[in-house]
Amino acid sequence: MKESDIQLLKLLAKRLERLNVDSLWARRASGTRGNIIKVVAEIETGKTVDKERLRPLINRAFKVLEHAAQEIPDMDEIRKRFR
C-alpha cells in the first residue's frame, strides 16, 4: 500500500466529515467515512487490504463529495436576487 493512498483516504474522510448535516448527502457521507476509517485502521495495524476493495470506496467518496458540492448555492445568483 502506497503512502499516497493512505493520505488520500485520510483526506477523503476529513472532507466527508465536514459536510453540512443539513445536506441530503450527509448520511451517505457518514457511512462512507466510517468505511474509510475502518480501512485506514486496518492498514495502520499492518493488515493487508486488497486494492480492489479500495477503488470503489474512493470512487464512492468522490461521488458523495461531488453531489454535496452541487447543493452549495451559487453566491453570485443569490446576490443578484437581492440587488
As a whole number of angstroms, the distance between CA 52 and CA 7 comes to: 17
**Would you give per-residue pLDDT tens digits along the chain (83 residues)?**
788 989 999 999 999 999 888 888 888 899 999 999 999 999 999 998 988 989 999 999 999 999 998 887 778 888 888 87
| The three cell numbers locating residue 68 | 454535496
- Note the pLDDT of residue 6: 92
- Note the pLDDT of residue 30: 92
- Note the pLDDT of residue 44: 93
As a whole number of angstroms, the distance between CA 75 and CA 79 comes to: 6
Task: Report residue 5 CA to chain centroid gap.
Answer: 14
- Note the pLDDT of residue 64: 95
- Note the pLDDT of residue 43: 93
